[in-house]
Amino acid sequence: MRAASTGFAWLLPLVGQIALAQSAPAQDAPAEPAPAVEAFKPASSNQGGKEYPQVNSEGRARFRIVAPEARSVRVPEWGGIDLTKGEDGAWVGTTRPLDEGFHYYRINIDGADVPDPGSKPFYGAGRWGSAIEIPAEDQDFYAVEDVPHGQLREVLYHSESTDATRRCFVYTPPGYDEDTSKRYPVLYLQHGAFEDETGWGNQGRANLIMDNLIAAGESKPFIIVMDNGGNNFAGGPRRGAPPAPGGAGGRPPGRPRFDFSGFAKIMTDELIPFIDAHFRTIADQPHRAMAGLSMGGAQTRQITLANLDTFSHIGLFSGGSIAADDPALADPEAFKEKVEVLFVSYGSRENTAAAKANHEALEAAGIVNTYYESPNTAHEWQTWRRSLYRFAPLLFRD
């Protein structure tokens, strides 16, 4: 997702990127790739006991697929990597150095995209598929540490507006079940397009980020709710592929429109009341936040600005920004009175010009806001992990 200007005009040139909440990192391949350092180890994202895929100290990934009858095996991501068949019937290939963090990928065997049997499954790109974790220098902030841990709870609830049972995940901080008199603020945290409510727990490590921040005394403990924001391409399926060229699938040619109205109603009329009724929340505007990545940032922007009596803390991670002339800021003093935190972040490899300009314009107008840029990352999960890590300590301060 690129930086935002007023309204949703920022979506139009970028809908190709938003089709996957995490697109392949934009990296320039070296003119003459150097040989890989032979220090490969199984990736931390592998299924238990699986030796491949592997990563090395340079951030290269190596894949090995046993398919003796195949005619071709390749990984389409990162410009495409053709695997070479060995005498044992296994196909092996190695990438150039990749960005730190988490990346989706596919294995293509004779033209068919399939999951890598060595990877754990993750929901992204509109399907359950493969991903690889490239170790990061700052990975300790989302590592499993010897600290008190909260719980990531799977919760079902009924939606009257859709007449369906919905699922969300709720993070409760350490000690939630021990002191039943204590109540907590709430952050509603949204995933990106073609991802779902599992994203922030599985790919984002949100619960581990919070456990470590709380243990270090760097964040107030609070509840996090992660619901399914859908994949709101008007006229298209809730989950599935981006619109076909030429308007296939019933849409006219051109880019799809976004429609968040259905999820906005679920959020304000159903989800928030349900969470307040079933968890020990502090159920008022000063203790309620919303944030999201990519499409989830766009949802956050729309929902919070339309409901400033409901939300006081706003986080947009690679999902737009707010211009000084936005209608929601027509009365700057009223906006400042209601909004305690306004946080916008991007990866340094994204188009950040508009977000930076909007940040400076808001500062000039006397509206305090925070702009964060993740170093050496693009539209990807490492950007958003770092964003949550820096956003959370700002929330619900006395």
In this structure, what CATH number is given to the domain that contains residue 57?
2.60.40.10
Same domain for 113 and 179, yes or no, is: no
End-of-domain residue from the set 90, 119, 134 = 134
- Can you give the pLDDT at residue 35? 87
Amino acid at 153: R
- Can you give the pLDDT at residue 96? 95
Same domain for 121 and 222, yes or no, is: no
Max Cα distance, the chain (Å): 72
Cβ contacts of 305 within 8 Å, gap of 6 or more: 322, 326, 328
| 95: phi then psi, degrees, rounded to nearest 5 | -85, 170
Q: How many residues are present in the chain?
A: 398
3-class DSSP state for residue 207?
helix
Residue 192: left (phi > 0), alpha (psi -120 to 50), or beta?
Answer: beta
3-class DSSP state for residue 281?
strand
- Can you give the pLDDT at residue 398? 80
Residue 205 falls inside a structural domain: yes
- Can you give the pLDDT at residue 97? 95
Residue 25 is given by DSSP the state P
In this structure, what CATH number is given to the domain that contains residue 151?
3.40.50.1820
Same domain for 343 and 244, yes or no, is: yes
Residue 28 falls inside a structural domain: no
- Can you give the pLDDT at residue 239? 36
The span from the CA of 264 to the CA of 273, in Å, is 13
> Averaged in consecutive runs of 10 residues, what is the pLDDT profile of the chain (398 residues)?
34 41 54 79 97 97 97 96 96 96 97 97 94 97 98 97 95 97 98 96 98 98 96 43 32 55 94 98 98 97 97 98 95 96 97 97 96 97 98 95
- The CB-side HSE value for 255 (13 A sphere, CA atoms) comes to 13
- Can you give the pLDDT at residue 22? 66
Same domain for 152 and 82, yes or no, is: no
Q: Which two tokens stand for residue 87?
A: 């005498």
The span from the CA of 40 to the CA of 61, in Å, is 8
Same domain for 58 and 171, yes or no, is: no
3-class DSSP state for residue 390?
helix
The span from the CA of 219 to the CA of 394, in Å, is 8
Residue 3 falls inside a structural domain: no
Q: Which domain holds residue 309?
A: 9-21+140-394
Count of domains observed in the chain:
2
Residue 7: left (phi > 0), alpha (psi -120 to 50), or beta?
Answer: left
Same domain for 203 and 258, yes or no, is: yes
Same domain for 72 and 185, yes or no, is: no
Tell me if 74 sits within 8 A of 65, measured CB to CB: no
Give the containing element (helix H, strand E) for 213. helix 206-215
Residue 50 is given by DSSP the state -
How large is the C-alpha radius of gyration of the chain? 22
pTM, two decimals, is 0.88
